[in-house]
Amino acid sequence: MKSISKIGMAMTFLLSYTVCSAQIKNAQVESVKILGNCEMCKKTIEKAGNVLNVAEVNWDKNTKIAILTYDSNKTNRDEILKRVALNGYDSDTYLAPSDVYAKLSDCCQYERKAVVTAKTNTTKQVGDAKIDLKIEIVEHKQEVVAEKKQDVDLWTVLFDHYFALKDALVKTDGNTASSKANMFLTAIGEVKMEKLSSTQHNVWMKIQKDLAFDAEHIADTKEASHQRDHFITLSKNMYDLIKVSKQETLTYYQFCPMANKGKGAHWLSKDNMIKNPYFGSKMLGCGKTIELIN
């Protein structure tokens, strides 16, 4: 009996849709799952899918089911879902581009299922033009970070957050910088002191408090200029830290003479090309690499 009423409900649901979208000719109706969270998602999904008199999407945020109504002579399911995915929402046919997903607002950051982060390591041997491309398949970002924590250098996570913070400052993006600084703070707390060597331990004890102090201040504001003031000392301390740690890849110690009101300031980067975190796009290219750290 219950199932009959359910079917009945579904029927009325479907029928009401044919009525609503009477202007769509040769109408075909399909239901399909589209991932998403909230009312805002609903707006984006429907706006992306709708085409006047050709296609209409109605998405339910609780069931994640979208009812597609479309003119089967003019379009198809795939075209609609592709438009939706290009605006950030995964379905069973298309995965949204990761950069578009990342730009969705916080409440719309739904949990992705099948998404995979790809990491390709390339080793090149230029001399006799041999190439050896290794591929590392990473299923879930979080898991990998967790794994890495255990067997790679103890401070890797800390450095990862530092570089993310620096990138945010390059873009003069105070919001991201603040959230990265928060993650940086958490990472400070998670450093396993018992595994540090004695020299490492000494350095760590000396700078740990200063790191936390600067990171807190960066996290507390969304004002990039204030964040940059603290980034100066933070970078200096991170430099001390990197000198006693083991890094898998090359790090560049860079310097801009114009930062810090003409007194100059340093930062660490994974890239030889200068992207100045103290000025952002105003003077992105200002500075030079002064030391290579292995």
Contacts of 228 (CB under 8 A, 6+ apart): 169, 259, 277, 278
Q: Which of these segments, 45-53, 85-93, 149-157, 241-249, binds other proteins (CB under 8 A)?
A: 85-93
Using rule CB under 8 A, residue 255 touches other proteins:
no
Q: Which of these segments, 30-38, 61-69, 117-125, 180-188, binds other proteins (CB under 8 A)?
A: 117-125
Using rule CB under 8 A, residue 257 touches other proteins:
no
What is the closest distance, in whole angstroms, from the C-beta atom of residue 119 to other proteins in the complex? 8
Structure tokens at 281: 């796009």
Using rule CB under 8 A, residue 19 touches other proteins:
no
Using rule CB under 8 A, residue 262 touches other proteins:
no
Binds other proteins by CB under 8 A, chosen from 42, 161, 266, 275: 275
Question: Residue 178 to residues 145, 157, 212, 268: CA-CA distances in angstroms?
Answer: 21, 17, 13, 18
Looking at the Cβ atoms of 245 and 269, the one nearer to other proteins is 269
Using rule CB under 8 A, residue 86 touches other proteins:
yes
Binds other proteins by CB under 8 A, chosen from 116, 250, 290, 292: 116
Residues 96/18, Cβ–Cβ less than 8 Å = no
Q: Which of these segments, 29-37, 81-89, 149-157, 206-214, binds other proteins (CB under 8 A)?
A: 81-89
Binds other proteins by CB under 8 A, chosen from 1, 2, 62, 99: 99
Contacts of 199 (CB under 8 A, 6+ apart): 244
Burial of 212 (0-12, 13-18, 19+ CB in 10 A): middle
Check residue 106 and report its DSSP letter.
G
Using rule CB under 8 A, residue 258 touches other proteins:
no
Using rule CB under 8 A, residue 280 touches other proteins:
yes
Looking at the Cβ atoms of 1 and 137, the one nearer to other proteins is 137
In 3D space, the residue among 90, 95, 92 whose CA is nearest the CA of residue 110 turns out to be: 90
- CB neighbours (10 Å) of residue 207? 19
What is the closest distance, in whole angstroms, from the C-beta atom of residue 256 to other proteins in the complex? 13
Cross-strand pairs, 253: 268, 291
State the Cα angle at 143 between 147 and 132, rounded to 5°: 70
Using rule CB under 8 A, residue 281 touches other proteins:
yes
Question: Residue 184 to residues 63, 102, 179, 204, 238: CA-CA distances in angstroms?
Answer: 37, 20, 9, 15, 12
Using rule CB under 8 A, residue 199 touches other proteins:
no
Binds other proteins by CB under 8 A, chosen from 14, 27, 72, 94: 94
Structure tokens at 42: 């609903």
Using rule CB under 8 A, residue 71 touches other proteins:
no
Residues that bind other proteins (CB under 8 A): 82, 85-86, 92-97, 99-100, 114, 116, 118-120, 122, 124, 126, 129-133, 135, 137, 139, 167, 273-275, 280-286
